Amino acid sequence: MAKRSLILAGVLGVWIVAIIFRLYDLQVIQYVQLLARADRQQQRTVEIAPKRGTIYDRHMHPLAMSLAVNSVYAVPSEITDPGMVAGLLAPILNLDAKDLEGRFKTYRSFCWVKRKITSQQSARVRALNLKGIYFQKETKRFYPDGELAAQVLGFVGMDDNGLGGVEYELNKQIKGRPGKILLTTDARRHSFRSTEWRGEPGENVELTLDEDIQYIAEKALAKTVTKFHAAGGTIIVQDPHTGEILAMANQPTFDPNHYEKYPAVNRMNRAISWNYEPGSTFKLVTVSAALNEHLAQPNDVINCQEGQIVLAGHVIHDHERFGDLTVAQILAHSSDVGAIKLGLRLGEDRFYRYIRRFGFGSRLNLDLPGEEVGLVRPPDRWSGIAIGEISMGQGIGVTPLQMVSAYSAIANGGVVLQPRIVREVFRGHDDDIIPPSVGRRVVSRETAALMRQMLAGVVLDGTGRSAQLNGYSAAGKTGTAQKIDAAGRYSHRQYVASFIGFAPVENPAITVLVVIDTPVGEIYGAEVAGPAFKSIAEQTLRYLNVPQDNPSRSPQVISRSLAKSSQKERDKGESLPVDSELTGPSTRPIEPVSFSGWANAASKGTVLLDDGPMVTVPDFTGLSARRVSEQCQSLGLEMDMSGSGLAVEQDPSSGTRVRAGSSVRVRFAR
């Protein structure tokens, strides 16, 4: 018995030691690995995409927003007949049945069937009531205006990451931080516990774009490209005093709601990514540099040698045989020989310094991806003919953004401002206001004033007569540049036609650039781009309620509500001439008035006879800026706004009786 007891005790002791060792091995040595395996088998983490921030225009109209949609996923281990389920789902979701069945057999715990489906598809899948098929709420990016400002806004991929435009450049701020749901399941894959970590929604972005001005620009560009069968083009409208971009249009374009259906060229933002030779529009740099260095005056006479000049053995011809021209006439008639002679006065080094000071050869750091620097070689790499070519706008590569910034510098008094397209980034009350544009002076105020008058002469008596505006003075320059063909030579068939200008001349409210790539039929900037400038400038100035400074005919009374109504609803966006024959109780002709009296009346939006009717000021509290503006327009009131968001204060208060044309101050806040 003693031996048996000892043997039994020994066996039990060894068994206990083995159990202890095994428990130690499982609970201590392999604990981390086994816990990880258990978690993989029992737990599943589902990432909840955060809601991307909304992108607004300058009046808080949404241009890009996120909507909640359903995504379909599967737990393949719960699907008893993968082939049958795949066959039912594939035609509804436009998928390949064999590919879907393969995914069901490859994965066990989770696989996406299709993400971000339509409401109709969601209803049809739900009606099938298939085991192992589930729905997950996600957000889908939606662009309510379709193609409007598509290249500026960009687009978003399936994983809610920005892939172009502002969506890409500010993706980190707009996207937010994703949330997570941890699901714990039993052996039968039934969930019995879930833990949720809330994500953080993305920040909102307010752009400097104006939705209505953007529409005006896009319509004019599309009309011009179609008319001249051009390869493409771009238009930029800028506030010359702040650097803010009011519109940036491109052709060809695309719909960011269905970006995958368009070729890559349609998604290119030509306004910042297109390097082109500017032609005669670049003479602004040549002439302003010569004036600023006191090497010439507007009335100085220069012999243009009957339209030809020889540089480094090369003969350069003018488009006309010009003799003696003043500097102002050289700009007005776009004489290449005259511009070359001014460039020679400057010399290579001094000319190059002005080119760089105007911003050419550098990125202007607009908050958009893909901005090019242009092509500006230093003087030690210039050929003998280079100074002549660059003086007339050939042999140098620029971007449309650089050109519009240079003309805005002349418009605002000689300061190049950093262009802006993002006005504010905000989440709730935590605003991240973008600081005002920083500028650098490139020419003196006196030089800028002389250039404005000379550019006005281009429109009045020179090559830019097609850009003359009804009711407003304008200044600008035409450009026609030969493109480089496949052989590396200047083509005699392919051209870039452009017009860049600003209005009104003495106190410019807008700078407008129009560049058309490879027009067919007409090739000159005056015929191709000038009329587009005219259409855009007239509509935009009226929309902004800029007082007329050059009424060319007896003005007609135009109600402000008509002049500033939504461009999408006005006669398909066509320009309304200032002297249109309008009929109706609110509009009738008046006698000619002095400019000062007309400008004062035009600033109120409606020319009033006698003292005008009395109107009641409505309650604007809680309304958006657009709604307030529409109500003011309908009543003939002048809105003086400050801030952004919704109306919180107004003066006069609601119910007050005032005369039509009176000013109402409204403060907006979020």
Read off the pLDDT of residues 307-320 as tens digits, 9 standing for 90 and up: 899 998 889 989 88
Q: Counting every residue, how long is the chain?
A: 670
**Which of 641, 559, 565 is CA-nearest to residue 601?**
559
Phi, psi of 191, rounded to the nearest 5 degrees? -75, 130
d(CA 416, CA 439): 5
Residue 605 has a pLDDT of 35
**β-strands 638-643, 663-669: how paired?**
parallel
Q: What does the CA dihedral 368, 374, 379, 385 come to, rounded to 10 degrees? A: -160
In the structure, what pLDDT confidence band is assigned to residue 477 with cuts at 50, 70 and 90?
very high
Q: Looking at 132-141, 152-161, 217-226, 262-271, which range is the least confident one?
A: 132-141
Is 557 strand, coil or helix?
A: coil
The pLDDT tens digits of the residues spanning 403-416 come to 999 999 999 999 99
Other residues' Cβ atoms within 10 Å of the Cβ of residue 215: 20
* Banded model confidence at residue 292, pLDDT cuts 50, 70, 90: very high
Q: How confident is the model at residue 194 (pLDDT cuts 50, 70, 90)?
A: low
Nearest CA to 247 among 424, 416, 404, 67?
404
- What's the pLDDT score for residue 624? 75
Cα separation, 19 vs 21, in Å, equals: 5
**Percent over 90 (pLDDT), the chain:** 53
* 258: nearest Cα among 140, 412, 97, 435: 140
* pLDDT value of position 192: 60
Higher-confidence residue of 143 and 578: namely 143
Per mean pLDDT, which of 130-139, 179-188, 346-355, 482-491 is the most reliable?
Answer: 346-355
Element containing residue 21 per DSSP (H, E): helix 2-24
- Which residues lie closer than 8 Å to 58 by C-beta, 6 or more apart? 206, 207, 208, 209, 210, 244, 246, 423
pLDDT grade for 209, boundaries at 50, 70 and 90: very high
- Residue 178 confidence class, pLDDT cut points 50, 70, 90: confident
- Summarize the confidence of residues 504-517 as an average pLDDT: 96
Burial class of residue 189 in the structure, from the number of CB atoms within 10 Å of its CB (0-12 exposed, 13-18 middle, 19+ buried): middle
β-bridge pairing 55-56 and 204-207 = parallel
Helix (H) or strand (E) holding 152: helix 150-153
What lies within 8 Å, CB to CB, of 633 at 6+ separation is 560, 561, 564, 565, 605
- CA quadruple 5, 6, 7, 13: dihedral sign: positive
Q: What is the distance between the alpha carbons of residues 658 and 636, in angstroms, rounded to a whole number?
A: 11
More confident residue, 432 or 239: 239
Does the pLDDT at position 437 exceed 70?
no
Is the pLDDT assigned to residue 289 strictly greater than 50?
A: yes
Asked whether residue 285 carries a pLDDT value surpassing 80, the answer given is yes
Q: What is the CATH number of domain 45-207?
A: 3.90.1310.10
Domain covering 211-543 assigned CATH 3.40.710.10 in the classification: yes
Average pLDDT value over all residues in the chain: 84
Q: What is the pLDDT of residues 6-25, one digit of tens each?
A: 888 888 989 999 999 888 88
Average pLDDT over residues 422-448: 79
How high is the pLDDT of residue 362?
93
Q: Where does the pLDDT of residue 637 fall: very low under 50, low under 70, confident under 90, or very high at 90 and above?
A: confident
Q: Is 9 exposed, middle or buried (0-12, 13-18, 19+ CB in 10 A)?
A: exposed
Which phi and psi (to 5°) does residue 91 adopt?
A: -65, -30
Distance of alpha carbon 79 from alpha carbon 257, whole angstroms: 34
pLDDT at residue 575 tops 50: no
Inter-residue contact 469 to 502 (CB < 8 Å): no
Residue of 448, 414, 455 whose CA lies nearest to 330: 455
The pLDDT assigned to 435 comes to 65
Task: Name residue 657's beta-bridge partners.
Answer: 616
* Tens digits of residue pLDDT in 24-83: 888 888 888 887 887 777 776 766 778 889 999 999 999 999 888 888 888 888 888 888
* pLDDT reading at 275 higher than 70: yes
pLDDT of residue 199: 74
Domain boundaries, the chain: 45-207, 211-543, 551-599, 610-670
Helix (H, G, I), strand (E, B) or coil at 631: helix
Whole-number pLDDT of residue 223: 96
Tokens at 221, concatenated? 């560009």
Phi, psi at 579, each rounded to 5°: -100, 30
DSSP assignment string, 125-147 = HHHH--TTEEEEEEEEEE-TTTT
State yes or no: pLDDT of 589 exceeds 60.
no
At residue 109, the pLDDT reads: 74
If you average pLDDT over residues 223-238, what whole number do you get?
Answer: 96
Token digits of residue 44: 């599943």
Q: Mean pLDDT across the stretch 269-292?
A: 96
> Are 156 and 162 in contact, with CB atoms under 8 Å apart?
yes
pLDDT at 190: 59
> What does each C-alpha distance from 222 to 42, 140, 346, 526 come to in angstroms?
58, 29, 40, 18
Name the range with the highest mean pLDDT among 148-152, 200-204, 579-583, 622-626.
148-152
Q: Which residues contact 259 (CB under 8 A, 6 or more apart)?
A: 155, 163, 164, 267
Q: What is the pLDDT of residues 325-378, one digit of tens each?
A: 999 999 999 999 999 999 999 999 999 999 999 999 999 999 999 999 999 999
The DSSP symbol for 207 reads: E
Tell me, what's the pLDDT at 646?
A: 78
Residue 628 scores a pLDDT above 90 = no
pLDDT at 610 over 50: no
Check whether 585 has a pLDDT greater than 80: no
Catalogue the long-range contacts made by 304-308 (C-beta closer than 8 Å, 24 or more residues apart): 304/330, 304/335, 304/337, 304/338, 304/341, 305/337, 307/335, 307/337, 308/337
CB 204, CB 55: distance < 8 Å: yes
Please identify, in words, the CATH class of the domain defined by 610-670.
alpha beta
What is the pLDDT averaged over residues 89-93?
91
